[in-house]
């Protein structure tokens, strides 16, 4: 009697298992992907869209300068991060209503499959590369100019590409390349191969940021180029102003925010003029915190838009409050 009951129970359990398997109780497979990265907000009357090119792992211990290993570890731990730091690569799209302006272009094919997602993000944000009127480069490192080419073709066939005169003179000059250490020559080659096609087609123009000083150079109404030379010879930030609202696209004034915000004197190995890069960071951060306008950074965690607040001798980051209403 007992055995029969036991068998029935076993059969019932087997039936339930079969039922579960055929009616969707199996574990759902993990997707392990992220949505295309765009985040949109208004800056006055301008539509401002952060576009993510991907994230990549940055070995902070090898790259940061003026910081001890213990201090680095402490600052990363305080932000619940570890080395290598997963770092965002952001570009920014501004629709002024009459011009579509892209600031930086991501890494294209230069940094492997973790990067190169700018076009997918641009298209997910509702735009096509042919619609871009102007491309403004913060500087010529590969993670900012790589997206200018898709295979060997210009990604933005109708755009004028603009950058600081000093940046162009440095990176596009073969004599400068030959003077540079062997390890740095690849950066020159990347800049030349990606900007060259726009130079050849008459779509590349420079501006003299140093001569314009703190006023900057107005490129289209509402957008100025501001010389923040130091990270590279012609590194440039872009000031966007519309209807009383202001946002500054910092470029590469900061790479590892968890360390360089509390300690702005921490530099990075890629700085061509280390003291100059630190001085620009200190000055721009102080101004942004004093006046409370928006800032956006290429390597701040996506969307990389927020405010800086004074915090002790350094700064704290207040990321943009998520919104869907326009
Ligand atoms: Zn960069």
What letter does residue 108 receive in the DSSP assignment?
A: T
Ligand 1 center–CA 186 separation, angstroms: 15
Ligand 1 center–CA 144 separation, angstroms: 6
Nearest-angstrom CA–CA distance, 276 and 284: 12
What letter does residue 148 receive in the DSSP assignment?
A: G
Nearest-angstrom CA–CA distance, 166 and 85: 31
**Strands of 85-95's sheet in order across:** 38-43, 46-58, 85-95, 100-103, 134-136, 160-164, 204-207
Ligand 1 center–CA 298 separation, angstroms: 6
Ligand 1 center–CA 142 separation, angstroms: 8
Ligand 1 center–CA 32 separation, angstroms: 26
Phi then psi for residue 126, to 5 deg, are: 100, 10
- Digit-by-digit pLDDT tens for the chain (326 residues) are 445 556 666 566 555 555 555 556 789 999 998 887 999 999 999 999 999 999 999 999 999 999 999 999 999 999 999 999 999 999 999 999 999 999 999 999 999 999 999 999 999 999 999 999 999 999 999 999 999 999 989 999 999 999 999 999 999 999 999 999 898 899 999 999 999 999 999 999 999 999 999 999 999 999 999 999 999 999 999 999 999 999 999 999 999 999 999 999 999 999 999 999 999 999 999 999 999 999 999 999 999 999 999 999 999 999 999 999 88
Ligand 1 center–CA 7 separation, angstroms: 67
pTM of the model: 0.91
Evaluate the CA torsion angle 181, 182, 183, 187 in order and state its sign: positive
Ligand 1 center–CA 217 separation, angstroms: 22
């Amino acid at each position: 009697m007992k055995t029969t009951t036991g068998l029935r129970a076993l059969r019932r359990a087997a039936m339930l298992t079969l039922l579960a398997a055929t009616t969707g109780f199996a574990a759902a497979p993990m997707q392990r992907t992220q949505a295309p990265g765009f985040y949109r907000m208004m800056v006055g009357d301008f539509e401002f869209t952060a576009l993510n090119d991907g994230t990549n792992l940055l070995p902070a211990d090898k790259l940061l300068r003026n910081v001890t290993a213990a201090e680095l570890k402490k600052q990363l731990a305080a932000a619940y991060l570890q080395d290598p730091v997963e770092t965002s690569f952001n570009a920014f799209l501004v629709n002024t209503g009459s011009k579509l302006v892209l600031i930086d272009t991501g890494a294209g094919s230069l940094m492997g499959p973790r990067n190169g997602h700018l076009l997918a993000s641009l298209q997910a944000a509702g735009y096509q590369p042919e619609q871009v009127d102007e491309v403004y480069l913060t500087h010529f490192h590969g993670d900012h100019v790589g997206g200018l080419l898709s295979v060997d073709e210009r990604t933005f066939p109708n755009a004028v590409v603009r950058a600081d005169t000093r940046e162009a003179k440095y990176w596009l000059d073969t004599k400068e390349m030959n003077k540079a250490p062997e390890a740095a020559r690849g950066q020159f080659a990347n800049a030349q191969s990606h900007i060259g096609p726009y130079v050849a087609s008459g779509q590349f123009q420079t501006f003299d940021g140093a001569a314009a000083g703190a006023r900057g150079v107005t490129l289209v109404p509402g957008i100025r180029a501001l010389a923040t030379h130091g990270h590279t010879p012609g590194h440039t930030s872009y000031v966007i102003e519309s209807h009383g609202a202001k946002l500054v696209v910092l470029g590469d004034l900061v790479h590892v925010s968890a360390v360089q915000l509390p300690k702005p004197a921490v530099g990075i190995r890629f700085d061509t003029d280390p003291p100059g890069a630190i001085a620009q960071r200190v000055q721009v951060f102080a101004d942004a915190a004093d006046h409370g306008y928006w800032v956006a950074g290429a390597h701040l965690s996506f969307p990389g838009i927020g405010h800086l607040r004074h915090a002790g001798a350094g700064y704290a980051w207040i990321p943009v409050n998520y919104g869907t209403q326009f």
